[in-house]
Structure 1
């Protein structure tokens, strides 16, 4: 590779180890769960490693940032709509490793001559934007009716039925290890996740599980999830987890490449699903470099914005570390539709490829996902429809000052009359005989975004 300098990085990382949870095989609505001390350590160590690559002045990938947090040069966001607090907690743990306590930077002198250092030897409090359920950018795949329809069609496909037949013998051996959970290929992700969590945290389970069973279950779960969260076309609905996330990624890249913008490091904490879509869309799995598989806990993708040492157009380099399976980032070649050969991608090519398929607004997501009520779609669609049906402005003769006076008086009287009528109707104003006023209490007819935490079959 020719010599180049890192201008900045867009870091995307999966959460760390957590307790078990359940997600619906069609809608992917998820139950609550919690991060474990192991997961916190995985993320903190990932943060330390990332810091050694990009915030260490002796590293060839260093681009000028120090380990003292600066809100102008660094941004962080985390998915807060999936897996409870796990992803937020993971982000905070990673940031502890990336920006460790700094007593020098967090010590002040007081008027009385004494000095004070912040808690925990100068712990650095790095703000993280929590992306909730009504923001579709990191959770584009939930409540998406078009995606749900596609997933159901996949479960009814010939390929799925063939895979179910091929795996039937293996699946028939699993009930003793699954504590009453449904043993079907449709439920394969939940089967694997339960087995994986138990293998990490339950010594008896790990001892009794036959040696090949976890790997076999993961292989089926990989196949299952890859087919749900990828697509044969770049903007296909199967890539919705990636296309919904693209705007923040593309915006960060452009900010980093812009020398007048201070941003140099953008970090996003997510679940495993967008990784599958992004890998598919960037083509890193095309020649088997990156397997079509669920990424490990604390996996990290670094999209480096680089510039040739001699100057010229910035380009994007794909670096990936699959959790603790990899000690360091590995470089993978991207293969976009417009490229004749795989490799790094010029920033302009990256933008022109992905901007047309990015889901830029919630309204656009509502239309793409055929969602008419949830996540604010009802109000957005109504407003869009009203704007579209509004009559075009027409030419009117200017009104005279006298006419304007009469018009103003008339409008005032009309508004006053409507207000009086409304007060009478609501019982807040009475004429003549005094009537009793009653008030009824109604719950707000608002969107219920709560998650059913008891979806898992009783064991």
Structure 2
């Protein structure tokens, strides 16, 4: 009898674990590009190693979220052949990031061979090229297209206040102290940096560019190519990456100035919007993937208060690093939860390529005690840090040109319209002026036509090569 009671308890516990098992409803993955050429020479390109890194990381997420054999499979997602309505992918229009995204997506949904073949009306079968290669639409992200190729984080963000804010770091006590205290350290690197940096540039001001150059050399150059390789000891390398991390993190984020982390704020808005789309469509949209540089990642880390969870979040993320926002529920059944209170968000991060048995680690966001954050709390806290639309971006950045010009001109137009005087007939001066101009133009054209008709003149097309063409006209013709 005792055995039967224990068996019953075990069975009840087993059933409870099944009904209360966590289900993954959707996810947003944001990844850094793979290994690339150094920034100092410009025009960076993804290397074969970088291609392999992002492909391997993408393959891990296939096994986690796509594979039918995974306990973390996103509910209802197509396990073999990609369903374009279920997945969205974005990357800035930049060489390294676009190519990294394509390599990553190849891992997420690899070629499927004859599984995706089609039978035509005549009975013949057609298989996609490259062993059933799957095409996934890659949209252009809203972040600055030159972010990865720039040697300074805010150099091309387009956000005026972000540029000013980052410039303020170069006058801060923290920066000036490190600039002074590390002067001898960077000077000692001259044998390794000669030819790539001027002696005056071998300072903490170029901490990331110097680290990046030596890091690429360490990965790709043999001893014969990197003659001072032995000088790059573990101790020197650790100091280089630590200083570079401090330099770049403080350029990308400042707790008292949200504008400095504008790229992270935009990304936060995109993440929340994408996850909300999964909820509002009851799971029709399932997986969102974004790509970007370490600067955007740093900005978001700061806004999410991730350094409170681990000081490692102030260090430069390695190539092919990735972070994930999982949308999960413990609600029983197989239907999408109808109550948002049953939905939570989990943040995970993995530094570098995910290979072997390694997996992303879960961390608490916003300095909260739990790794899981209820959807409602996530929305409340993320709304405080996120940029959700162009108007918010323009306000945060203080820009009045480009996409911000329309909102500013709208205000000025309505203002001028309200102050415009009207004629006795109720017609505004602006409208009357336009009508008057049109009447005048009609009169001039009529007189001109009469002149040509009566005088026997005609309009002839001039030969471009005519020697009578002025030099200025020739220049304009060549431009065309």
Q: 1:349-388 alignment to 2 at 5 Å?
A: 349-373=377-401, 375-387=402-414
Match of 1:201 among 220, 226, 250: 220
Q: For residues 147-185 of structure 1, give each alpha carbon's deviation from its aligned partner in whole angstroms, at most 9, with x where no partner exists.
A: 222222211111111112221221111121112411121
User: CA 1:14–1:419 in structure 2 vs 1: closer, same or farther (change >3 Å)?
Assistant: farther
Offset of 1:431 from its aligned partner? 6.2
| TM-score computed with the length of structure 2 as normaliser | 0.76
Match of 1:106 among 95, 109, 116: 116
**Residue in structure 1 matched with residue 241 of structure 2 by the alignment:** 218
The root-mean-square deviation of aligned C-alpha atoms, in Å, is: 3.7
**Residue in structure 2 matched with residue 457 of structure 1 by the alignment:** none
The reply on whether 1:258 has 2:314 as its aligned counterpart is no
Distance 2:208 2:34 in 1: 17
Unmatched 5+ stretches in structure 2: 1-16, 463-469
Distance 1:429 1:413 in 2: 20
**Residue in structure 1 matched with residue 191 of structure 2 by the alignment:** 176
Structure 1 window deviating more from structure 2 (62-71 vs 89-98): it is 62-71
Distance 2:415 2:386 in 1: 23
The reply on whether 1:87 has 2:97 as its aligned counterpart is yes
The reply on whether 1:164 has 2:179 as its aligned counterpart is yes
Q: For residues 277-308 of structure 1, give each alpha carbon's deviation from its aligned partner in whole angstroms, at most 9, with x where no partner exists.
A: 21112222114264311111111111001112
**Residue in structure 2 matched with residue 324 of structure 1 by the alignment:** 353
**Residue in structure 2 matched with residue 451 of structure 1 by the alignment:** none
The reply on whether 1:285 has 2:307 as its aligned counterpart is yes
Offset of 1:417 from its aligned partner? 1.3
Q: Secondary structure at the match of 1:90?
A: helix
Offset of 1:387 from its aligned partner? 4.0
Distance 2:220 2:147 in 1: 32
Offset of 1:145 from its aligned partner? 2.2
**Residue in structure 2 matched with residue 32 of structure 1 by the alignment:** 43
- Tell which structure's C-alpha radius of gyration is larger: 2
**Residue in structure 1 matched with residue 59 of structure 2 by the alignment:** 48
Distance 2:145 2:313 in 1: 30
Offset of 1:74 from its aligned partner? 0.6
| TM-score computed with the length of structure 1 as normaliser | 0.80
User: CA 1:73–1:149 in structure 2 vs 1: closer, same or farther (change >3 Å)?
Assistant: same
Q: For residues 178-211 of structure 1, give each alpha carbon's deviation from its aligned partner in whole angstroms, at most 9, with x where no partner exists.
A: 1241112111111111111111111132734331
User: CA 1:421–1:90 in structure 2 vs 1: closer, same or farther (change >3 Å)?
Assistant: farther
User: CA 1:422–1:163 in structure 2 vs 1: closer, same or farther (change >3 Å)?
Assistant: farther
Q: For residues 322-377 of structure 1, give each alpha carbon's deviation from its aligned partner in whole angstroms, at most 9, with x where no partner exists.
A: 113772111111135xx5x343211111111222442233343233223344x444
Contact 2:267–2:300 (Cα < 8 Å) also in 1: no
Unmatched 5+ stretches in structure 1: 24-30, 405-409, 444-459
Offset of 1:114 from its aligned partner? 2.2
Q: Secondary structure at the match of 1:9?
A: strand
Q: Secondary structure at the match of 2:114?
A: coil
Q: Secondary structure at the match of 1:354?
A: helix
Offset of 1:421 from its aligned partner? 7.2
Distance 1:285 1:264 in 2: 29
Q: Secondary structure at the match of 1:304?
A: strand
User: CA 1:122–1:248 in structure 2 vs 1: closer, same or farther (change >3 Å)?
Assistant: same
Corresponding residue pairs, total: 416
Q: 1:53-452 alignment to 2 at 5 Å?
A: 53-63=64-74, 64-65=76-77, 66-80=79-93, 84-131=94-141, 142-178=157-193, 179-181=195-197, 182-204=201-223, 205=226, 207-211=229-233, 212-233=235-256, 236-288=258-310, 290-310=312-332, 312-324=341-353, 327-336=358-367, 339=368, 341-373=369-401, 375-387=402-414, 389-391=416-418, 414=436, 416-417=438-439, 419-420=441-442, 432=451
Offset of 1:378 from its aligned partner? 4.2
Q: For residues 354-413 of structure 1, give each alpha carbon's deviation from its aligned partner in whole angstroms, at most 9, with x where no partner exists.
A: 22442233343233223344x44445533443245542999xxxx9xxx99xxxxx9996
Contact 1:222–1:292 (Cα < 8 Å) also in 2: yes
Distance 2:143 2:325 in 1: 26
Distance 1:264 1:351 in 2: 18
User: CA 1:342–1:127 in structure 2 vs 1: closer, same or farther (change >3 Å)?
Assistant: same
User: CA 1:303–1:156 in structure 2 vs 1: closer, same or farther (change >3 Å)?
Assistant: same
Contact 2:56–2:354 (Cα < 8 Å) also in 1: no
User: CA 1:226–1:134 in structure 2 vs 1: closer, same or farther (change >3 Å)?
Assistant: closer
Point out the structure with the larger helix share: 2
Distance 1:386 1:442 in 2: 39
User: CA 1:136–1:258 in structure 2 vs 1: closer, same or farther (change >3 Å)?
Assistant: farther
Contact 2:327–2:344 (Cα < 8 Å) also in 1: yes
